[in-house]
Amino acid sequence: MQESGSYTAHTRDGEIDLVELAKALWSQKLIIASATIAGAVIALAYAFFSSPVYQAKATVLPPLLSDIAAYNAGRLESSFYASGDEDKSGRANQAPLKPFTVEDVYAVFTRNLRSQSLRRGVFNDLYLPTLTEAERSGPRDQLWAEFNELITITTPDKQRAELLEVSVDQNTAELAAAWTNELINRASAASERDMQRNVASELSARIHSVERRIASLRSTAQQRREDRIAILKEALVVAREVGMTSPQVTAGHTASSDELSAFVDGSLTYMRGAKAIESEMKVLEARQSDDPFIPELRSLQEQLAFLKTVDVAPENVSVFTLDSAAEVPETPIKPKKALIIALGIVLGGMLGVFVALVRVLVRREK
């Protein structure tokens, strides 16, 4: 009786006797067991009847030097025509085209792989057709957000920043693998088009520059020929006025190079005689082309002909290396059945204990 009174006093003060609590819970064992079984059944049903989610992965690396060699074919040879040295006329040649590096080409690929335009294409072409009419009628921004959750591009190894992993989650294993490979293929195609535009743009700019240089040289040569004819006409007038038909001075009898220059091209040109002046004038006026008399022209023409033969869309090139293609996954990543069932049992048991405690407290209050 004394122990019973002591227990009653403790319970009145709000203290809990663990033994009595255990006995009270044991008296509610059917409720606890029922809640645990119900939780397990619900978890089991969810695990086995929910749609599975499969994840396909692919990894890519930068291209090899041999993969981008075709892009550099015309650029490496351009250094032969544009070495940066001065030609015979004293004019500096154009700088050679800078060869593309592996990093340059791979940067174009990674930019396209991560681009929103690429995802938009997959969203419109692949994702929307898999939805029902009712699902497609939903808010487009919500569909876009759900689609972006399916695609992940990460760098799995921090020590190898160039290694990229592309993963796609889908309810169908075949779709997950197909979408992953399609993403990479579309990024590759877009990058090759970008590289072709880059090569074509630089070649076009270089071709136009060389063509303008050639046109400028020809125009200058023609102007110089016309200037030479004008000088000879004046010298011919002087030679006829003084009655000088034959040369009065020869190169071998000139005292210095300055006198020789004045005799040929300068103020003493008339001393060459009318016959020599008239002959040179006729030759200059009858000349059809000044090309043979332009020192750097042939080198520029050779460079132009080479640039026009460069292929801006070469074959057998690659902007990346496929380290591992996406394969059809066999095991879904969701739902994790064992974990779900275990959580169902735990949550069901916790719910049963909670209900049992409530019933015990209600009885005590009564």
Residues 217-231 have a mean pLDDT of 92
pLDDT of amino acid 224? 92
Estimate the crossing angle of helix 297-309 against helix 69-81, to 10 degrees.
Answer: 180
Amino acid 315: pLDDT: 80
Is 242:130 a contact under the CB 8 Å cutoff? no
Write out pLDDT tens, residues 253-308.
545 555 545 555 555 777 777 888 888 889 988 989 999 999 989 988 888 888 88
Amino acid 3: pLDDT: 44
Is the distance from CB of 167 to CB of 152 less than 8 angstroms? yes
Give the pLDDT of residue 86: 45
> How far is 56 from 178, CA to CA, in rounded Å?
9
Q: What is the pLDDT of residues 28-39, one digit of tens each?
A: 788 888 888 888
Is residue 151 within 8 Å of 168, Cβ to Cβ?
yes
Please list the residues that pair with 324 across neighbouring strands: 59
Cis peptide before 52 (omega within 30 of 0): no
Q: If pLDDT is split at 50, 70 and 90, which confidence band does 1 have?
A: very low
Per residue in 3-61, pLDDT tens? 444 444 444 445 557 787 777 777 778 888 888 888 888 878 776 777 788 999 999 99
Percent of the chain at pLDDT above 70? 82
Three-state secondary structure call for residue 241? helix
For residues 364 and 23, the answer to whether their CB atoms sit within 8 Å is no
Coil vs helix vs strand at 349:
helix
Write the pLDDT tens digit of every residue in 100-130.
899 999 999 999 999 999 999 999 999 999 8
% residues pLDDT > 90 (the chain): 34
pLDDT of residue 252: 53
Region 178-204 average pLDDT = 92
pTM, to two decimals: 0.68
The answer to whether 206 and 127 have CB atoms below 8 angstroms apart is: no
Nearest Cα neighbor of 195 from 72, 24, 62, 59 is 72
Overall size of the chain counted in residues: 366
> In this predicted model, which residue has the larger pLDDT, 190 or 91?
190
Residue 91 has pLDDT above 70, yes or no: no
Q: If you average pLDDT over every residue of the chain, what do you get?
A: 81
Q: State the Cα–Cα distance between residues 284 and 273, nearest whole angstrom.
A: 17
DSSP 8-state symbol, 94: P
